[in-house]
Chains A and B, each alone.
Chain A
């Protein structure tokens, strides 16, 4: 019976994990969890040919330096920004050779990434972009400063720039243990010494995975059931508590129901346009 229960819990837990990856919203949620790094974006410097005083020709090249706080080089995961009429961008990185001491060297990470379909027309001119470390020609590690070279060859535009430039650091993900492995570890070990600690850690890991509050709550409930399953020899000593088998089977039924409900969640609307049957409108709102 315990084996059947353990398989049931494994599949439920695995399904829970699947669900957290299947909805795009949760995917972007986990993206937002990584904070962008504090950096200083210097004002753009436009390159001129010859005499800098002569303003007649507008420059088509400008350089934007993004510096990181002194002594805190980072490994870049991605650079995000919003385009404003820049046609091409080249990314150069100032990297430190070794961990602590060593010379710094500029290298080109990306040459002439096209941001606009056609430099003379509006397509792509105000879009949001990310440059991921996978797209870069060199490893963006131990980076102290970033130089973005913006090019806009068309004379059709007054200004061009990049807005809201953000750097995201690369996080080495700890090798994730399959959550079910935790459970099977707990179930196999006969008398786990610090079971309470292990279970609380498990809850914390789960909550990191799936920030959805209800999922955490359900996970906690799962944990309490696990406790009943895992400590059979203690059950007889607990007087006045409900039989663990009945509790676990009723909770199993509840779980099955919630699974069915959540799997069948539909995005279709009911179609009512009134509020409780009333649709008497005064004037249209102009704001």
Chain B
């Protein structure tokens, strides 16, 4: 009976969210317009309208919208639970996230004061006109960025995660199996290999995979042709759930952009384009300090990357608009982070003049632009690229830089990586620990970026296929452990952190799917 009330509560919440949306008005208009059609009879009005909507694909669109809502729905919880509990149930994690945020805000404040650059200012008319003209080639504009530095880098964040402690956890015993080899010391529940084998059964050795069985020396009739044929059918059906299931074994290159757009329910309708234009207007009107941080980040990371430097302009167009998008604020209901608050000039403390900064509440860090860069290979229209990126951020990427107990959160991923390595390569782990080269210090930067910028693009996209297909970032931790397993022999020979880093410096030749498959399904337990 409890399940019944849970389901009806979910339904009520989803109806509330979809009501008044553009899809709702489109459905109503379609239903009204179809009344002229001859097959709609007055006696069976309701059934006929319904079958019309089904046949014309509108019911499928509604289904996809509901499926999307299920992905971003707040977890069902007790009516007396306060909102902060929904964001993050564990009190010590909330506290750690709050103090981390305070550090970041202090850093941003001091940057603003030292450099004399205001957090936000209205652009004068001349500057607005300039920017509008230069919109498609912002990369050529070289503002003086030498004074700016990123607010934080992944390694600063790693130090915070290492210092996380559960105050109720008894760690008085010195060496226990569970805890003290690795850097992460919080007792989260993570899955071990037998459980992962069950959860990721589609990646089994017996199943064909893109990334393995589409290799040049495997005849395409054995797997690839049939699989692509099925993929085309899924795209024609326009079904989100089917696309997500399909993506678990990889997406063919030609179909990937449509499949990902389906899974994320990112349409490129006129209202999406209009929304993007509205954000663009916001960029042109106001100049934010975070804009310089974005510029700096793109220049430092994507522009230096052989694969992504061509997309520099796209990255500015997406990330600057992303900062102005208040729709992103919705995800803070289930994100343990809180958007920074400020007051319009001179009205500190007056709630009527309270605003959030930046408008989307997300302060970019060093490497943030790498979340967008791989998507540029799939989408060339800025508004479509933008809506796919935004959806991927509010479903997955935000978990990689906030402290939470979620199984897809970065804390759980780090713990999972360490546990997998400890359980299956204990000698390697012990050796690296002895030479003061804790594996997490090397793997952390890969995981925070979901391997973007470290793998070659085609391999990275195969990895992100599985993230979308399984709706979880766990596969990132599994890949990190698999990379260590692959280079274990070389790593056993090294004698310092620097040489361990050198062994693992270049991942661009790796093939991710064989590594993951062997680690999960061919490791002796």
Contacts and interface: CB of A to CB of B under 8 A. Distances in A.
Contact of A281 (B77, B91, B343, B405): B343
Contacts of B282: 273
Interface in A222-260: none
Nearest to A272: B326
B119 A284 contact: yes
Contacts of A55: none
B81 A274 contact: no
B286 A279 contact: yes
Interface stretch (B129-137, B162-170, B369-377): B162-170
A130 B15 CA distance: 26
B2 interface: yes
A188 interface: no
Contacts of B189: 117-118, 121-123
Nearest to B22: A268
Interface stretch (A46-54, A92-100, A104-112, A156-164): A156-164
A267 B17 contact: yes
Contacts of A214: none
A145 interface: no
B327 A269 contact: yes
B89 A156 contact: no
A31 interface: yes
B118 A281 contact: yes
Interface in A257-284: 263-269, 271-275, 278-284
Contact of A271 (B113, B121, B326): B326
A210 B78 CA distance: 22
Contacts of B21: 266, 268
A120 interface: yes
A168 B26 CA distance: 46
A182 interface: no
Contacts of A263: 19
A138 B190 CA distance: 37
Contacts of B81: 127-128
B494 interface: no
Interface string B317-328: 000000011110
A80 B78 CA distance: 9
Interface in B154-175: 166, 168-170
Nearest to B25: A264
Interface string A17-41: 0000011100110010000000000
Contacts of A31: 79
B172 to A, nearest CB: 9
A11 interface: no
A156 B187 contact: yes
7 contacts: A23-B16, A24-B12, A85-B168, A117-B189, A132-B2, A279-B344, A285-B341
Given A121-B187, A125-B89, A280-B344, 5 more contacts: A80-B80, A122-B186, A266-B19, A273-B326, A280-B120
Nearest 4 Cβ contacts at the A-B interface: A266-B20, A273-B359, A128-B78, A121-B189
